[in-house]
Chains A and B, each alone.
Chain A
Amino acid sequence: MLSGLTVLIVSPNQLQAIGLKYILDEYFSPDLVILSSSPELPHLHKADIIFLPADLYALHESILTSFRKKIILMLDQAIPEPNNSFQYSIAVTTSESILIDKLESIFTSILSSHSQEKPVELTPREIEVLKLVAKGLLNKQIADKLSISLHTVISHRKNITRKLGIKTVPGLTLYALMNGLISSNDIK
């Protein structure tokens, strides 16, 4: 559910953090879970979702308030909705299966506000670049052939790899062959 996202767990309580990381990895598979004992700016900026105990939030409110939208507060006990001013919160006293349901609905709501850019089909230009890569041309040669800058070729290649999930040149060649973009006669 959280693929492509980074989760930050800020808690001096290592056992709590490890437990939460375990649940996240097991049920929601985020790309990366960062554990930290105190809120640090680089982490806060990098993270898509932040877990934080309520007392720590109170302590560092001035820094944390700008990250409010992606913070899920960890409360010592469940607080009835009307009294809980925070948008997202979980109680540390909750049982595992209830917690998982709760997290699922929180993540769904966070993700829907996220403008999710799904990897889509290759553009005609990317297909052109892919064909040339598959034929064995180097980036510089592709740039000359299409009269575009080297930088543009590289950015096309990055997008192709991201969209297809194929990194190596032989892998891209195989993809191009399988989809009839090139024929085996095209390969030197």
Chain B
Amino acid sequence: MKLITPGMKMADVIHGNYLLLPVINRFGIRLGFGEKTVREVCNDHTIDVDFFVAMLNTFSNENYFPAKKIQTFNVLTIQQYLQRTHEYYLNTLVPLIEQHLKTLLARSGRRNKSLTDVKKFFLDYKKELVAHFKLEDTVTFPYIEAVYNAYHHQTDKTVRNKLSSYSMKTYQREHTNIDEKLLDLKNILIKYIHGDFDDASCNAIIFELFRLEKDIQDHTRIENNILLPLVTEMEQALKIKMR
């Protein structure tokens, strides 16, 4: 995949890789770019163009992950992006897969009980996803904001408590692999589905599972290789400061 640069036309970026559409949506950018370049579109939305381009490029290219460069961006910007991807999974992608599952069940023979089992498997997985993201949204991210504020502004007393009750080490320990079940489901559908089932809706489900998997991998890579080291560094600096 070609490297995306700020001078490229936004429309050409999408022509080059349409899978980036949901990624740019996360930044609040929507279709109808006209002749605008990536830089112009970012200026319109007051988005840091360098961060935007870095996210697009790492998403497009599995082997391109300039960790050092991404670590120069603001932690809160990175965190906000991750939070937006959570919203995308839960509000768009997961409901879409559920919708396809519904169609699959409606269009396939009633006798094929295994499809009900597939649906149940996905709904259980959804619960796990919701819990995983909720933990990050309600515990990890607020913690990161507190650490960030204390590091850059005033060290208030509450930070001391926060630092002792939670840390990036805890996060690392609790941060489970959320793509394993996804891989299993994909594989089960591809290899072992049988009986009476609707091709189109089954294909649609597999497409979306591939997309979700890829997106989650990109997301996890940013969390583990960017967010985690950056916040750990601030934690350590704060601990020294508060001694």
Interface segment, one of B7-15, B185-193, B218-226: B185-193
Look across to chain B and name the residue whose beta carbon is closest to the beta carbon of A22: B63
* Given A178-B193, A178-B194: A171 touches B188 (CB 8 Å cut-off): yes
- Given A166-B188, A171-B188, are A177 and B114 also a contact pair (CB < 8 Å)? yes
- Residue from the list B114, B181, B193 in contact with A171, Cβ < 8 A: B181
A165 to chain B: which residues have CB within 8 Å?
A: 187, 191
What is the CA–CA distance of A106 and B118 in the complex, to the nearest angstrom?
43
A175 interfacial by beta-carbon distance below 8 Å: yes
B residues 173-200 near A (Cβ < 8 Å) are: 180-181, 183-185, 187-188, 191-194
| Interface flags, A159-175, vs B, CB<8A=1, else 0 | 00000111110110011
**Which residues of A from 144 to 165 have beta carbons under 8 Å from B?**
164-165
A170/B181 in contact, CB under 8 A: yes
- State whether B194 touches A167 (Cβ < 8 A): no
Chain A's closest residue to B62 (CB) is: A25
A164–B188 Cα distance when bound, in Å, is: 9
Known: A175-B188, A178-B193. A167 touches B183 (CB 8 A): yes
Does A179 touch B at the CB level, under 8 Å? yes
Distance (Å) between the CB of A60 and the closest chain B CB? 29
CB-based contact A167/B180 at 8 Å: yes
A170 to B120, CA, bound (A): 10
Name which of A166, A167, A178 has the most chain B CB atoms within 10 A of its CB: A178
Say yes or no for A184: interface residue by CB 8 A criterion. Answer: yes
Q: Hey, which chain A residues are within 8 Å of B193, CB to CB?
A: 178
Count A-side interface residues using an 8 Å CB cutoff. 13
Chain B: interface residue total (CB-CB under 8 A) = 17
Q: Are A174 and B121 in contact, CB atoms less than 8 angstroms apart? A: yes
Which of A165, A174, A184 is most buried by chain B, counting CB atoms within 10 A of its CB? A174
A184 to chain B: which residues have CB within 8 Å? 117
Assess whether B192 is in contact with A170, with CB atoms less than 8 Å apart. no
A175 to B187, CA, bound (A): 10
Interface: B87 (CB within 8 A): no
Q: Which residues of A contact B145 (CB under 8 A)?
A: none
For residue A18, which residue of chain B has the nearest CB? Answer: B63
Task: Report yes or no: B192 in contact with A167, Cβ–Cβ below 8 A.
Answer: no
Residues of A within 8 A of B187 (CB): 164-166, 171
**CA gap between A116 and B114 in the complex, in Å:** 34
Query: Which chain B residues border A175 with CB–CB below 8 Å?
Result: 188, 192
What's the minimum C-beta distance from A110 to chain B, rounded to whole angstroms? 26
Known A-B contacts A178-B192, A178-B194; A170 and B114 likewise in contact (beta carbons under 8 Å): no
CA gap between A69 and B169 in the complex, in Å: 47
| Minimal Cβ-Cβ distance residue in A for B193 | A178
Minimum CB–CB distance from B54 to chain A (whole Å) comes to: 21
Question: Do A170 and B191 touch across chains, with their CB atoms under 8 A apart?
Answer: no
Q: Please give me the residue from chain B that is nearest to A180 by CB atom.
A: B114
A166 touches B184 (CB 8 A): yes
Question: Do A178 and B184 touch across chains, with their CB atoms under 8 A apart?
Answer: no
Residues of B within 8 A of A174 (CB): 117-118, 121, 184-185, 188
Instruction: Tell me the smallest distance from the CB of A176 to a CB of chain B, in Å.
Output: 10
Q: Which partner residue on chain A sits nearest B125 by CB separation?
A: A170
In the bound complex, how far is the Cα of B118 from the Cα of A164, in angstroms? 16
- Interface residues, chain A, CB within 8 Å of chain B? 164-168, 170-171, 174-175, 177-179, 184
Known: A171-B180, A171-B185, A175-B192. 4 other contacts (CB 8 A): A165-B187, A168-B180, A175-B188, A178-B192
Among all A-B residue pairs, the 4 with the closest Cβ atoms: A171-B184, A178-B114, A165-B187, A177-B117
Q: Can you identify 25 A-B contacts, CB atoms within 8 angstroms?
A: A164-B187, A164-B191, A165-B191, A166-B184, A166-B188, A168-B180, A168-B184, A170-B124, A170-B184, A171-B121, A171-B181, A171-B184, A171-B187, A174-B117, A174-B184, A174-B185, A175-B188, A175-B192, A177-B117, A178-B117, A178-B118, A178-B188, A178-B193, A178-B194, A179-B192
- By a beta-carbon cutoff of 8 Å, the part of chain B in contact with chain A is 114, 117-118, 121, 124-125, 180-181, 183-185, 187-188, 191-194
